[in-house]
Amino acid sequence: MDTTTGRLPVPGATLHYELRGTGPLLLISESGEGDAGRSADLAAHLAARHTVLTYDRRGLSRSVPDDPAAPASLVRHADDAARLLDALADGPATMLGLSIGAVIGLHLAVRRPDLLGRLIAFEPVAPSLLPAADAARHRAELDGLRATYRADGLAAVLPAIAATLGIDPHDPGTEPDVTPQPLTEQRRANFAHFIEREFPAVIDDGLAASALADCPVDIVPALGAATPPHVFDRRCAVILADLLGTAPAVLPGGHNGNTARPRAFAAALLPLLDAVRT
């Protein structure tokens, strides 16, 4: 599968992006420290029917901001995604937002509904959607993970992050031939940015439920079949579905199903994407 790469200047940064496949445009906004290559396996299973657009979020890998010390902002990330679609889409696109990428998609849907035909919001890390006491607890949880990283480093915080998200690192359901994702120096730097800069952005984010209820974009909340019910990002998907008067779509695997089970994830995702065209 051929991949076309490009760079797009945006205010305060230059974004690296990648395009694979042919067909209607699908923008994937990644989870965690994931950059444009994180969903390469998933994109490979979608590229026969979709042009898949992935990118490095501002601050990750090749999307270096002009001021690396500037605070991260989910609204700014949404504006970056809007500029990608303004430049590369020829009409309303479909978007798959994963975890923090789902919150970026929700902000984009509110701010630029003209750019999206459908948003699949998979386990959005959006404490503001939760009841106040739960939101406060989970903001404190994220702040505690950041403190663990500062005190004890990446090796200590990674298992804690996995537990917070309900990810089983020994999940026997991981598909064969999945592309390895070793902990390179670049990925370590991406984790540092994600934890130090983007955790506070999630904690401080003020995404309003009322704005989503009135949003004209077709928003499909989604969750992983293996994500435990108590996990807060799964609960955010359920609450979002209740807000929109729908049921969440259930996709294979857990919070990292897109990377651990890309074939099954793509197979379950395609009907949701096809529904946009019909």
Q: What percent of the chain has pLDDT over 90?
A: 95
Point out the least confidently predicted range of 122-126, 203-207, 215-219, 274-278.
274-278
Query: Sorting pLDDT into bands at 50, 70 and 90, what band is 173?
Result: confident
pLDDT tens, position by position, 57-106: 999 999 999 999 999 999 999 999 999 999 999 999 999 999 999 999 99
pLDDT of residue 35: 98
Residue 18 parent element (H or E): strand 13-20
* pLDDT surpasses 70 at 245: yes
39, 29 contact by CB (below 8 A)? no
Q: Taking Cα atoms as reference points, which of 61, 115, 103, 93 lies closest to residue 237?
A: 103
Indicate the range of 25-39, 171-185, 250-264 predicted with least confidence: 171-185
Query: Which CATH number applies to 3-277: 3.10.20.600, 3.40.50.1820, 1.20.140.10, 1.20.1050.10?
Result: 3.40.50.1820
pLDDT average, residue stretch 244-273 = 96
Q: Tell me: the pLDDT tens digits for 177-228?
A: 999 999 999 999 999 999 999 999 999 999 999 999 999 999 999 999 999 9
User: What pLDDT is recorded for position 276?
Assistant: 64
Residue 1: which pLDDT band, with cuts at 50, 70 and 90? low
Span 102-125, mean pLDDT? 98
Q: Whole-model pTM?
A: 0.97
Whole-angstrom CA distances from 238 to 45, 141, 206, 254 are 27, 20, 19, 15
Q: Confidence band (pLDDT; 50, 70, 90) for 278?
A: very low
Measured CA to CA, the distance from residue 208 to residue 212 in angstroms comes to 7
Nearest to 141 by CA among 199, 87, 192: 199
| Length, in residues, of the chain | 278
Around Cβ 40, how many Cβ atoms within 10 Å?
Answer: 18
| Strand arrangement of the beta sheet that strand 93-98 belongs to | 3-10, 13-20, 51-55, 25-29, 93-98, 116-122, 218-224, 249-251
Query: Sorting pLDDT into bands at 50, 70 and 90, what band is 169?
Result: confident
CB atoms within 10 A of CB 14: 15
CA nearest to 252, candidates 270, 277, 231, 273 = 270
Return mean pLDDT, the chain.
Answer: 95
- Coil, helix or strand at residue 28: strand
